[in-house]
Amino acid sequence: MRHYEIIIMFILDKNNKILDTIKYYSEYIKNNNGKIYRIEDWGKRKLSYKIKKKKKAHYFLLNIEISKKNIKNLEKKLKLNNFIMRKLIIRTKKIITKISPIIKIKNFLKY
C-alpha cells in the first residue's frame, strides 16, 4: 500500500454535488482496502487564472493509503467526472494526519 495526497478542485456551479462526490470517492477508497487519514474542505478560493471560464473553485484535500492498481482506477474516475475542474495526486513517503497549513491560516484569521 502506498500513501497519496490528493487535491481536488470542484466547479462551483455544482455546489450541491461536491459532498456527494467526496462521499462517493471515499467509499470507493474504503471498498478497495484503502484508508483515509485526512479529508479537509479548503472552501472556495479564487483562481490565479481562469480555468474552464471559471474564476473560483472549491478545494478538497485527501490523504489516503491505497494500492497502486486502485490509485490508477481512482485517477481515471476523477478524470471522467464533470464536476471536477482539476486534480493533483502526489505520492507521499509517510502518512500525513496533521492539519494542513491552509486550514491553520484559515483558523488563525477567524480570531
Convert the pLDDT of each residue in 50-79 to its tens digit: 988 899 999 999 999 999 999 999 999 999
With a cut of 70, which residues of the chain have pLDDT below it?
A: 14-15, 110-111
Contact indicator for 106, 43 with CB cutoff of 8 Å: yes
What are the chain's domains?
Answer: 2-110 (3.30.70.60)
Would you call 89 helix, strand, or coil by DSSP?
Answer: strand
Grid cell, residue 26, equals 471515499
Contact indicator for 44, 57 with CB cutoff of 8 Å: yes
Sign of dihedral through CA atoms 45, 13, 8, 108? positive
